[in-house]
Structure 1
Amino acid sequence: MLEEIQPQDSDLLISVDNVSKKFCRNLKQSLLYGVQDICTEIIGVSRRSDTLRPQEFWALKDVSFQLRRGEALGLIGANGAGKSTLLRIISGLINPDTGYVKVRGKLAPLIALGAGFNPILTGRENIYANMSILGLSTPEITARFQDVIDFAGIADAIDAPVQTYSSGMAARLGFACAVHIEPDVLLIDEVLAVGDINFRVKCYQKLAQLRQAGTAFILVSHNPHVVLNVCENSLYLAKGKLIKAGETEAVIRQYEEDLSLAGADTALGIMYLPEKPESESLGVDIVSLCFKDEQGNILTAPLCGEPAYLCVECKAYREVEYANLGVLITALSGQNERVLYITSASDNEPLKISPGKVEIQMQMPYVCLLAGVYTAKIYIKEGVCSFDVVESFRFTVKASKITSRSLFYQPRKWQVWNK
């Protein structure tokens, strides 16, 4: 149920109290339940909203939190965790089955940019229709109209039907409409990835201005660096349940630790690969992968800012004069963005391999990866001849130093010179 907040706490904008929402996995059964629920409401009979019927599941279960003026709250979790469902309940698009949501002030949902546009109407007509739905009067829209067009950067197409716009143009117009109503609360669901880099920079600058004016945010993003740099506090959802709430760094660390549990095959810090018979080998095979410290001990998880050696054990059936080892690392907890790509050839370090078992080490004086979960693609070849490749070596980097709100770890020393 959506209610207005009473005026006792002037800074409280959103209060979510034990909210739950269930859905049905079967379409026909879902339609039947919908008809049954409408009938029970018409005849005034209370329905059992707190129990699951056959083929139903909880998309959200007993979630509670509060949002105050000027705060930025992150929502973190895997796909299907309930993040978008929660935003849709807060925005009033769907009702919770149990619990209450109380909202004060003007709310702008950036859940699906441009989704409310009429494709037949022009951009100009859609600005007036969209912003009026978001609570502005016609004179107020007229006063801000030029600012919306300038922000979206679509002046040349403003009198063309929206159905002729590209998806990026429609997204830019939707964002411009939402932020120029000057809302009290912005609900942002993975929409800051739209547009080119210049438009994204403009979006972040506008959000910073709104926040200084007192606008509060709820931000959903799969990129942990975005959440770290925007939100002081976050919620971690998993399968509809609130797992952890609090400081963003601690919440993200819990989320990434849970992700790393899926890599149970490397829980001991070493990944073994089956050895091939010589008849199936291309000359050199990777047989194990791990990290070691400077004394040769296996590290179950390298530490950010500390030395570590990536060790690739190979079995060679012939001599290779100019082997090239490549390591491509991506962040598992983000959007699979490439973090690091290193090859021995690009470092002008040709590797000579003799027949038998050998261990190739990439020795890192400092691990500059932030705490998190990563996967590495590792290959070995000579020239254009590829010997072997491991598509996914999953590993976890843990924190030994404070690295929050950074994109990488910078090794450093401090000194004062007296002059």
Structure 2
Amino acid sequence: MVINIQRPLVSTSEAKEPPVLSVEGVSKKFCRDLKQSLFYGVKDIAADLTGGRRHNHRLRRKEFWALRDINFQLQRGQALGLVGSNGAGKSTLLRILSGLIKPDTGLVRVRGRIAPLIALGAGFNPILSGRENIYANMSILGLSTREIKRRFDDVIDFAEIWEAIDAPVQSYSSGMAARLGFACAVHIDPEILLIDEVLAVGDIKFKMKCHQRLAELREKGTSFILVSHNPYHVLNVCDSSIYLKKGELVLQGDSQDVIRQYEADLRLDGTEKALGWIKLPEKSAAESLGLDILSICFNDKNGNRLDTLQTGEYAELCIQCKAHKPVENVNVGVMISCSSGGGDRVVSITSTADHQTIKLTPGYHEISMKMPYCCLLAGVYSANIYLKEGVFSFDKVKSFRFQVDSEQSTSRSLFYQPRSWEVNS
């Protein structure tokens, strides 16, 4: 890997200012077997020492490409999103950009100082105090002792750990160490910030402080590469993005186009399971706990089954069930999570919270939850559906997958808000 460290340009008025980061044909391979990996490592070191060939362009036995021929550029002040499923190569790419590992092929050219917000506090020495770790960490990131002294108080004020600054880091909570790591990284005035799902440290107040600091750095011309499984975070921060899939760069360009392609691929990957309909085998009275789910689906106003929901349109969640005995008050629970948002819970609904009394007699029934508007955005969702009475659980379906499409532009929203407009004179 080639890293050219140069002083950042002060003026941004030049029409053809070179990129602060350039990735050219970067590939990285790993071995799935530990013993084989150690053998290859020794063999490669020997080849380097003797001037032999390492054959970096081809795979050896049990090796695979974690990244394959990645090319992109990052301009000054640009926020670039990096999306993809687990195992797509996002973290590997960030580790290469930060200099933690070397690519097998290709070059990375950097103009300026990089601050990796990848594993906050991971590089701290646990037996050293917070004060000593600040000097060690910020010096590694490129600051002189004089510069660290000048910024020391600002770092501690930001991390809010004055009372523990002279205690060993091993006595810190994970949150305290992460806050100190974040404070060190953002106070070196980096030209490039690598952010890998690390903005969830601390309480709400500290999170707001983190976002405010990042916004200040962006205004000063700092460039970002943001990795997140939540597409809404990427859309709200990054104008452009790149999409990695199985180590290859599938698409780069406008964030909205990239996220749309990423979510479309997620839906295709789950086609067989995301049909919006599930049927379960009927249980005998001996197998049943008293009330069983037989099928789950979505219907339209006319009772026709919906394979795909539409944002803003009417839908009914229909739960076919069989009661083997009278049940006085069934509590129906529906917990919906978003697959494309990293599995985050989107909505939690129970009939008891809605003060809805559901009384069932022995026999077959259909419980219907009517939604005048589907407020879910386009994407793939997974619902956990259960039937209870009090704390006793009759039956549950842990992963009822369904798909939502949208004809409207809602990508930068967290949910769909039904609405109407009028003018009063």
TM-score greater than 0.5 by the shorter chain: yes
Pairing 1:294–2:263 present? no
Question: Which residue of structure 2 lines up, in the alignment, with residue 67 of structure 1?
Answer: 74
| Kept in 2: contact 1:253–1:372 (CA 8 A) | no
Q: Offset of 1:268 from its aligned partner?
A: 4.0
Question: Which residue of structure 1 lines up, in the alignment, with residue 194 of structure 2?
Answer: 187
Aligned counterparts, 1:249-398, within 5 A = 249-398=256-405
Which TM-score applies when normalising by structure 1?
Answer: 0.94
Which TM-score applies when normalising by structure 2?
Answer: 0.93
| Kept in 2: contact 1:72–1:218 (CA 8 A) | yes
Q: Name the CA distance, whole Å, in 2 between partners of 1:120 and 1:382.
A: 53
Question: Which residue of structure 2 lines up, in the alignment, with residue 4 of structure 1?
Answer: 4
Q: Name the CA distance, whole Å, in 1 between partners of 2:40 and 2:273.
A: 45
Q: Deviations over 1:334-370 (max 9, x none)?
A: 3432211111121122123344332211111111112
Q: Name the CA distance, whole Å, in 1 between partners of 2:184 and 2:391.
A: 52
Q: Name the CA distance, whole Å, in 2 between partners of 1:222 and 1:384.
A: 34
| Kept in 2: contact 1:225–1:407 (CA 8 A) | yes
State the secondary structure of the residue aligned to 1:175: helix
Question: Which residue of structure 2 lines up, in the alignment, with residue 34 of structure 1?
Answer: 41
Give the residue type in structure 1 aligned to 2:384: K
Q: Name the CA distance, whole Å, in 1 between partners of 2:95 and 2:269.
A: 30
Match of 1:145 among 146, 149, 152: 152
Q: Name the CA distance, whole Å, in 2 between partners of 1:240 and 1:89.
A: 13
Q: Name the CA distance, whole Å, in 2 between partners of 1:30 and 1:273.
A: 46
State the secondary structure of the residue aligned to 2:133: helix
Q: Offset of 1:235 from its aligned partner?
A: 1.8
Same amino acid, percent of matched pairs: 64
Q: Offset of 1:321 from its aligned partner?
A: 4.0
Match of 2:131 among 110, 121, 124: 124
State the secondary structure of the residue aligned to 1:34: helix
Q: Name the CA distance, whole Å, in 1 between partners of 2:273 and 2:100.
A: 43
Question: Which residue of structure 1 lines up, in the alignment, with residue 31 of structure 2?
Answer: 24
Aligned counterparts, 1:209-248, within 5 A = 209-248=216-255
Bigger drift between 298-307 and 177-186 goes to 298-307
Aligned counterparts, 1:199-218, within 5 A = 199-218=206-225
Q: Name the CA distance, whole Å, in 1 between partners of 2:306 and 2:250.
A: 28
Bigger drift between 257-266 and 334-343 goes to 257-266
State the secondary structure of the residue aligned to 2:126: coil
Question: Which residue of structure 2 lines up, in the alignment, with residue 165 of structure 1?
Answer: 172
Bigger drift between 199-208 and 271-280 goes to 271-280
Pairing 1:92–2:99 present? yes
| Kept in 2: contact 1:14–1:103 (CA 8 A) | yes
Match of 1:156 among 156, 163, 166: 163
Match of 1:413 among 394, 411, 420: 420
Q: Deviations over 1:202-230 (max 9, x none)?
A: 11111011001111111112222222221
Q: Deviations over 1:91-150 (max 9, x none)?
A: 122111111111111111111111222222221121112111111122211111111000
Q: Name the CA distance, whole Å, in 2 between partners of 1:115 and 1:348.
A: 49
Give the residue type in structure 2 aligned to 1:53: R
Q: Name the CA distance, whole Å, in 2 between partners of 1:382 and 1:166.
A: 41
Does the C-alpha gap of structure 1 residues 369 and 405 become closer, same or farther in structure 2, counting only changes over 3 Å? same
Give the residue type in structure 2 aligned to 1:190: E
State the secondary structure of the residue aligned to 1:15: strand
Q: Name the CA distance, whole Å, in 2 between partners of 1:265 and 1:250.
A: 25
| Kept in 1: contact 2:5–2:112 (CA 8 A) | no
Q: Name the CA distance, whole Å, in 2 between partners of 1:397 and 1:128.
A: 51
State the secondary structure of the residue aligned to 1:201: helix
Bigger drift between 231-240 and 168-177 goes to 231-240
Give the residue type in structure 1 aligned to 2:2: L
Q: Name the CA distance, whole Å, in 2 between partners of 1:151 and 1:14.
A: 28
| Kept in 2: contact 1:2–1:92 (CA 8 A) | no
Q: Name the CA distance, whole Å, in 2 between partners of 1:108 and 1:287.
A: 54
Does the C-alpha gap of structure 1 residues 162 and 321 become closer, same or farther in structure 2, counting only changes over 3 Å? closer
Q: Name the CA distance, whole Å, in 1 between partners of 2:257 and 2:73.
A: 19
| Kept in 1: contact 2:277–2:402 (CA 8 A) | no
Match of 1:113 among 117, 120, 129: 120
Superposition CA RMSD, Å: 1.9
Give the residue type in structure 1 aligned to 2:59: L
State the secondary structure of the residue aligned to 2:158: helix
Name the count of aligned residue pairs: 418
Bigger drift between 260-269 and 328-337 goes to 260-269
Does the C-alpha gap of structure 1 residues 171 and 276 become closer, same or farther in structure 2, counting only changes over 3 Å? same
Q: Name the CA distance, whole Å, in 2 between partners of 1:156 and 1:90.
A: 35
Give the residue type in structure 2 aligned to 1:285: D
| Kept in 1: contact 2:331–2:352 (CA 8 A) | yes
